[in-house]
A and B are shown apart, each in its own frame.
Chain A
C-alpha cells in the first residue's frame, strides 16, 4: 500500500538557518503530495501541495518540489524563524472521496527553532 517516510526529529536549528525536511513516498498510482503543519495547541493546517510531477508547492517561505524520479517531496525554507517551530507532516493521496483527499501521513518531524 501507499506509505510516506520522513526524517525523524526533532530538528533543532538557530533562527535564520536553512531548513530541509526529507520526505519520500511509495504509491501505486500518481498521488498528490502535501505538507501539513501543526503549531503547538492547534490543529493540522495544509502548508502546501503539489498535484503532479515537477510541480513546486510554496507557502509562507516554504517550498517543496514533486520529484517523481526520486519519489521525494522534501520541504525547504531558506531562513527559519522561531515562529516556524511546529510539527511537520508529509502526506500523499491518490484517493478523491466526496471532493476531498484522504491523506496517508508520515510520522511527523518536530522542528525547534532557537533565537
Chain B
C-alpha cells in the first residue's frame, strides 16, 4: 500500500511569488493534516480536513495560506504571496476515521525556500 506522498520534494521561490504544495493521502483515509517545521523549531499544526471539510484551521498563520481538498482526496496548500518567514518543511499526514485512537501517517515533507 502506498504511503502519504507529497509534491514537490523541494521548492525554491522568490519573495512575492506563489507556490502550491500537494499532498496525496493514503487511499481511504478521511483525515488529512498539514504541519510546518520552520528551521530548527517545532513542528506546528496548520489544519485538519475531514474528507473535503476543514475541521480545524486554527494553526494557519495568516490569509496568505489557502488549503483545499477537492473531492476529499488529495489536498493542496497554496502560499500567495510567499514571504521569507514561510520557509520551512511542510508535512502532510493522514489517518482513517474510526472509533478510538488512529495513528497519523506522515509524508516525507516539502522543503520550501523563499529567497
CB pair B101–A43 under 8 Å, yes or no, is no
The B interface, classified by DSSP as helix, strand, loop or mixed, is loop
Whether, in the assembled complex, A69 has its beta carbon less than 8 Å from a beta carbon of chain B, the answer is no
Shortest CB-to-CB span from B67 to chain A, Å, is 15
Interface residues of A in 90-115 (CB under 8 A from B): 96-108
Contact status of A98 and B42, CB under 8 A, knowing A43-B3, A43-B4, A43-B108: no
Contacts of B106 in A (CB 8 A): 36, 43-45
Nearest neighbor of A42 in chain B, beta-carbon distance = B108
Contacts of B56 in A (CB 8 A): 97, 102
Whether, in the assembled complex, A41 has its beta carbon less than 8 Å from a beta carbon of chain B, the answer is yes
Contacts of B30 in A (CB 8 A): 98
Partner of A100, one of B3, B31, B41: B31
Contacts of B93 in A (CB 8 A): 43-44
CA separation between A45 and B95, bound complex, in Å?
Answer: 13
Q: Which residues of B contact A (CB under 8 A)?
A: 3-4, 30-31, 33, 37, 40-45, 48, 50, 55-56, 91, 93, 95-109
Q: Which residues of A contact B (CB under 8 A)?
A: 4, 36, 41-46, 89, 96-108
